Structures are given as C-alpha cells and as structure tokens.
Structure 1
Amino acid sequence: MKLLALGLVLGCLSVADAAIQVDQVDVFIGGTRGHACYRVPTAVTLPNNTVLMAVESRRTTCGDQAPKDIELVRSQDGGFTWSEPVMLVGSLTGNTTYRNPYLTVVPGSSTTATPDLVLLQFVNSTLDEPWTTFQMESRDAGLTWSSAQPVNLSAWNGTLAGPGLGITLAHTHPGRIIMCGASGYHAGHSANGVVWFSDDQGASYVVSAVFPEMQECQVAELADGTLLINFRNSHLNSSCDCRAQSVSHDGGLTWGPLTYIPDLIEPVCSAGLVAANDTLYFTNPNSRDQRINMSVQSSMDGGNTWSHEVTLWPGPSGYSVATNHPNSKCTLGVAYERGEQSYAERITFAHINLCYE
C-alpha cells in the first residue's frame, strides 16, 4: 500500500508543498504460522541497506504473559520486500517466554575489513526471578547468530530493553553502545528507566543512570554528540499527558533533569525516536487517550519543539520503532503495530522517502 503525505517540511525538504513518499508493507500478520499475534518490533538498518526486524511472536493468546518466541526477518532492499521469518529463540511449544527483542548495530571498519556487528538482547522471563537478560550476535547481516549468553547488569538484570533499538555513538565517545529499558514489569518491583552502555562492543556493560518512575524509552544522538532519551511515563504530568525526556552531553555518563514535552502527547505507549544529523524523528500513536493515529513528527531544535506530523495509519496503532539509513539523509523506516479493530493485528514496515518531490 502506498500513501502520500502532502504539505510537509521534513528533514531536507525545502519547499512547503513538497511531498513525502511512504510505502508500507505488512510483515507479520496475527493468526498465522502458529502464533496468535506479533508484537513489540525492533528494527535496524545496516550500512549496506539491509533492514533487520525482530518481534515477539506470541503463541496461544496476544496477552503480555502468553508464551512467546522471538523471530527475525531480513530485507535487502531497505524494507520493500522481506524474507520468511526465522525463529531465533523459542520452539512453538511449551511455556517458554522470551520478551522485548532489542537490536543494535555496531558499524565495522572498511579499512580493516571488519564486518558490522549486530547485537540482539532479550529477556528470558521463563526463568524464576530475577529475570535474565541474554545477548546474541551476528557478523553476517543477520544470516547467522551466536548462541545466547547471559548479560550481567547487576541489580538491573532482567530489565526489559527498549522497546526500540540500541545505538552506537558516532561523535562523543565514538563506538560506545548505548541502550535503555524499563524495570518494574513484574510484581513487587518499582518502575524505573534504566540506561546502560558498553565500550567493548557488548562484551560487558555498565549501568549509567536510573530514572525513577520512568518506563519504556529510546535514545538518539545528535550531530553535536548530544544524547536525548525519551520516556513513556504513564501520564505523570497530567497537565499535558505527554512524553518525558532527558539530555546527556558526555556520551551517556550523566544525564540532566527530566522535562516534559507538551508537543509529544501520548496515550501511554512505547514510541520510536531516531536522529538524522540535526533532525529528530519521533513516532507514536498521536493521541492522549487511545492507541490510534500512528504519526511521525520532527524536531530541528534538539527535541524542545516538535512539528510536521505525517500520519502513517489513522486507526488502531501501538508500539513503533524508527530506523534511518546511515548513508542517507532522506530515508526513514518505521516498524509499527496496527490493525482495523486492534493495534495488535499486524506489524507493518513503512519506508519513508523524506526527499520525495
């Protein structure tokens, strides 16, 4: 399905009446291949234009506590066509539950012929508490993966990453991996937003910040090295029913105070955030009280103000993740949940050309 959004100025568009081209394809459809539904997408774009998407494949029901597998698909043309799903974790049987797949690309080196590294983290909540965070890696663009190994996040092990994607810094502390997630999704635990990083390509991690009462999150890096983290926060600021955010100027070692962004309303839901040079793009159900109206908004002032909304789907829509092509200022991808009656009916990938005229 192809949609055209008119009259917007996003990223490199220079005229007010230019158009943005959006091509959308349904990648996972609930009720197929032995799974009741598919949720919580993560997606990354590699330098060679390969897009990887992983999802929770929920077996018997669509509930959060249903047995779950983690499946992966690949696109070698930027998100227009997709491979058949491959099960990375799970077996379609039993009561195993693997949650919140979370992809991160660590760019390789052309001078040393080092391939790109892709990390996949997830939580095994089948185990007794404390839940355990695991990590797998691929060095061939997602074709093959290492065995899952536990990740030691100390007191925050089992934190549900994202949902969204991790990032590798290009400016302040180049090569540092920054990830974030939320604790408190099982009984007796307080809700916290947690940030962790690695300076050794994912061999070890350090927790750098804990934000009390914050929840699902996404980090982005601007061209000057500023990091912005954006949180779901269950409407703690009821005056605007909006998102919370914090900024770091030292590569994620320390973070400033939380602020609320009235432009970014939400119905309490996960959201996507990605930077393309000095432009930030934010994706979520653009509503105060319903998971509907999946939209893209942009900010050119570091996330202080937001505008230029384009609607990808006006109906039921839920979690989303945004990914941009590292070699193009014009290409944005959004993997998101949507449907006719429920936002959990299918997962769609939108390929957005921001410089279409």
Structure 2
Amino acid sequence: MTEVTVPFRAGQDGYACFRIPAVVATGARTLLAFCEGRVDSAADHGHIDIVLKRSTDGGRTWGPLQVAAGNGENLAGNPAPVVLDTGRVLLVHVRAAATATEAAILRGQVTDADGRRVWVQHSDDDGVSWSAPREITAQVKKPGWRWYATTPGHALRLSTGRVLVPANHTLPPAGTDTGAEPRYNSGHCLLSDDLGESWYLGYTDENTDGYVNVNETTAAELPDGRVYFNTRNDSPAPGNRADAHSADGGRTLVKPFRPQAGLTTPVCEGSVLQLRDPDLLLYSGPADPDFRALMTLRASTDGGTTWRPAFTADGLPAAYSDLVRVDADTVGLLYETGDFSAYETITFRRVPVHRLT
C-alpha cells in the first residue's frame, strides 16, 4: 500500500473548492503543496487565491493553510513554483479580474488591465513567508495575446541555472470578426537567466490549422540536457497529448509539437518528472480515454518517445496532477480526486520508486 494524505478538501478552510495542484521540494526537503483556493465555487474565475500547505516529513502530515498569493477579491492562479540553487522559491502565476471569464477573454471583451497578467514573487524561508508580487507581463506576454496561463504544475530549474516556465496563450482570430473566440490555443515558455530577476519568451508554437492544439504544458530536463515538453491536446490529432523537445534550453523546439498517442488519457492536464537515479521519465494523468478517472503514472526510458504503465493509484475520478521527487526512495503525486467527483480533494500519495521500475 502507498501512503496517502489529503492536504486540501473542498468546503474547508473558507474555500468552496481547491484546484490546480503544484508541488516542489525545497533544499531543506520541505514539501510545498500549492493550489488554487476558489472561494465561492469551482468556477475558473471569481475570487481565487493561491494557497499553500507545508510538510516537513515527506508529505505524511501537513501544516496549516497559508495564502501564498492573493489578489483581493480577484483572481491569483495557475501557480508555477520552482526552487533555485540558492534555496529561494519562485512562484510565477497569473492574475485577473474576478469578472474576467475565459469566454469573455477569448472574445476580446476584457481590457488588458482586467485580463490575464503575469506576476512573480519569492520565499527565502522555505515557504513560510512571501515577498510582495512583481509584475512581469510586459516581458512575457505579446500585445494581442488574449488567454494566458502558466503551466499548471511546477516549473523547471535547468542544470544551466535557467528557469523555465511552460505556458499557453491564444491569438486573436484571423479575419474581420475580431469579437469571435479564437479556435486554437498556442504554446510558449517563459525563461530567466538571472534567478527570476528578468524574463523573456522562449519558443512559441502557434499551430493555427488545429491539428495539434498546444494547451496546458508540463516539462522536464532529460539526462542529455534536452528539455521534454508534454501538452494537453484538444484537437483532431491521434490521442489527447502532444510532445516536443528543445535542444537549447527552451529557446526553440527541435520540431513543433506532434501527437503522442502512446499516452491514453482524456483531455486533461498532466505532469512529467525526470528521475536521475533510476533514469526514468514519469508522466502522471488519468488513464481512462474518455473520462477524468484512473490516475496512473506512466514511465519512459527513451526521452518520451514510448511509454508504459508503471503505477495506478485507484479507479476513482481524477483530474489534474503534479509530480515531485520526495527522496531517493519516493516520488510524490499531488492530484485532484474524489469518490464521486475529481474535485472533492487534492490528495498526496507517496509512491515508492521501486514500484515504478
């Protein structure tokens, strides 16, 4: 049996729902579990805070809920945390007006001031306290981009020291009907070479024919230094995932995103994590082809070209997830699940590495 705890449960701590998990391990091996605390409902807009719980025993117990990033009664969401070599924890995220629905943003009916904007803050004490937020929108969001979201899940610190945050955006529709919703999402990433002080855009993948629809993206650095990107794909392409590689730390892609039909999954976010010992690339996500259910870890030994099932949590409803290396013997899985809905809890499961090899 694997060890299971429930750091977030809908209806507790003043929040109607918790969604969009992200987890990192600090240099002191403290686990920081982030998610969106949605105050009034499960909706993707409204009064939403980025909340946090800390664990100093590998996820067996969790401290009290903290608000890591608030935006008054508006939205702070899509947490993308990353731990630097210095021990500092960066938290990249988006902010928007509570009334800015996704549909209105896509149709261009939301002003830039109320739309999705990008911010960063940091902690130098293992997530106990957080700096004031600093806006970086002008550095990483092109004029005209409408929808914008970081990750979901953890961001990356590459072996070079570069910080990489996968993200997605939409373009205005072509033609004269500028009030229509764009048909397709596009992908990009945020990069920083100075520990998060300044930021710039890496690759962009803007496929407008709809064959591959780059949406919520996760990334891992492979042992050979390449970056592997895996994305949710809402398109006619085979399967519901697509992937790509970068040989220059995220600045460009070797090839555009292409379908990854080796991962059976519904349309849903997923997470990837590269283990170094053993050399294993992991993917977490629901494994039912049509429903958000059956949370499963898949493993690849060839940089994401082929995949095999490695561990199934259970047969329950399950949706978004994130992966973290807890210690030499354990991988942590933070994921949305419940008995009757995937959005009843955000649960943490300790998975022994030997179960995955």
- TM-score past 0.5 threshold: yes
> Which deviates further from its counterpart, 303-312 or 343-352?
303-312
Match of 1:208 among 202, 206, 231: 202
Aligned partners of 1:211, 1:164: CA distance in 2, in Å? Answer: 20
Task: Give, in angstroms, the shift of residue 131 of structure 1.
Answer: 2.2
Per the alignment, residue 198 of structure 1 pairs with 192
Per the alignment, residue 241 of structure 1 pairs with 239
Per the alignment, residue 36 of structure 1 pairs with 16
Per the alignment, residue 251 of structure 2 pairs with 253
Task: Give, in angstroms, the shift of residue 142 of structure 1.
Answer: 0.7
Please tell me whether the aligned partners of residues 72 and 88 of structure 1 are also in contact (alpha carbons under 8 angstroms): yes
Per the alignment, residue 311 of structure 2 pairs with 310
SS in 2 for 1:264: coil
After superposition, give the CA deviation of every residue in 1:184-225 in whole Å (9 maximum; x if it has no partner): 399845511111211000111111111223100011011110
Task: Give, in angstroms, the shift of residue 158 of structure 1.
Answer: 7.0
Within 5 Å, which residues of 2 pair with 1:1-357? Answer: 3=1, 22-90=2-70, 95-108=73-86, 116-126=87-97, 128-129=111-112, 130-151=115-136, 152-155=139-142, 159-170=148-159, 174-184=160-170, 188-189=181-182, 191-212=185-206, 213-237=213-237, 240-257=238-255, 258-277=257-276, 278-325=279-326, 328=328, 330-355=329-354
SS in 1 for 2:311: strand
Task: Give, in angstroms, the shift of residue 338 of structure 1.
Answer: 0.2
SS in 2 for 1:216: strand
Please tell me whether the aligned partners of residues 296 and 309 of structure 2 are also in contact (alpha carbons under 8 angstroms): no
| Identity within the alignment, % | 30
Change (3 A) 1:157 1:118: farther
Task: Give, in angstroms, the shift of residue 90 of structure 1.
Answer: 2.9
After superposition, give the CA deviation of every residue in 1:323-355 in whole Å (9 maximum; x if it has no partner): 114x62x32111100011110100001111113
Aligned partners of 2:171, 2:119: CA distance in 1, in Å? Answer: 17
Task: Give, in angstroms, the shift of residue 47 of structure 1.
Answer: 2.9
Over the residues paired in the alignment, what is the CA RMSD in angstroms? 2.1
Task: Give, in angstroms, the shift of residue 75 of structure 1.
Answer: 0.6
SS in 2 for 1:215: strand
Task: Give, in angstroms, the shift of residue 248 of structure 1.
Answer: 1.1
User: Match for 2:140: what amino acid?
Assistant: L
The unaligned stretches of length 5 or more in structure 1 are 4-21, 109-115
Task: Give, in angstroms, the shift of residue 30 of structure 1.
Answer: 0.2
Q: TM-score, normalised by structure 1?
A: 0.85
After superposition, give the CA deviation of every residue in 1:1-41 in whole Å (9 maximum; x if it has no partner): xx3xxxxxxxxxxxxxxxxxx21111100011221110001
Task: Give, in angstroms, the shift of residue 301 of structure 1.
Answer: 0.9
Task: Give, in angstroms, the shift of residue 235 of structure 1.
Answer: 3.6
Please tell me whether the aligned partners of residues 313 and 338 of structure 1 are also in contact (alpha carbons under 8 angstroms): no
Task: Give, in angstroms, the shift of residue 157 of structure 1.
Answer: 9.0
Aligned partners of 1:285, 1:178: CA distance in 2, in Å? Answer: 25
Aligned partners of 2:290, 2:161: CA distance in 1, in Å? Answer: 39
Per the alignment, residue 106 of structure 2 pairs with none
SS in 2 for 1:355: helix
Aligned partners of 2:84, 2:235: CA distance in 1, in Å? Answer: 34
SS in 1 for 2:317: strand
User: Match for 2:88: what amino acid?
Assistant: L
Aligned partners of 1:95, 1:77: CA distance in 2, in Å? Answer: 33
The unaligned stretches of length 5 or more in structure 2 are 99-110, 173-179, 207-212
SS in 2 for 1:77: coil
Aligned partners of 1:275, 1:82: CA distance in 2, in Å? Answer: 25
Aligned partners of 2:288, 2:274: CA distance in 1, in Å? Answer: 23
Task: Give, in angstroms, the shift of residue 259 of structure 1.
Answer: 2.4
SS in 1 for 2:354: coil
User: Match for 2:20: what amino acid?
Assistant: V
Aligned partners of 2:291, 2:170: CA distance in 1, in Å? Answer: 23
Task: Give, in angstroms, the shift of residue 251 of structure 1.
Answer: 1.6
Alignment coverage as a number of residue pairs: 321
Aligned partners of 1:222, 1:157: CA distance in 2, in Å? Answer: 32
> Which deviates further from its counterpart, 65-74 or 225-234?
65-74
Please tell me whether the aligned partners of residues 116 and 149 of structure 2 are also in contact (alpha carbons under 8 angstroms): no
Change (3 A) 1:262 1:158: closer
Change (3 A) 1:236 1:207: farther
SS in 1 for 2:168: strand
> Which deviates further from its counterpart, 142-151 or 65-74?
65-74
User: Match for 2:239: what amino acid?
Assistant: D
Q: Which has the higher contact order (CA 8 A, sep 6+)?
A: 1
Aligned partners of 2:260, 2:340: CA distance in 1, in Å? Answer: 30
Please tell me whether the aligned partners of residues 132 and 157 of structure 1 are also in contact (alpha carbons under 8 angstroms): no
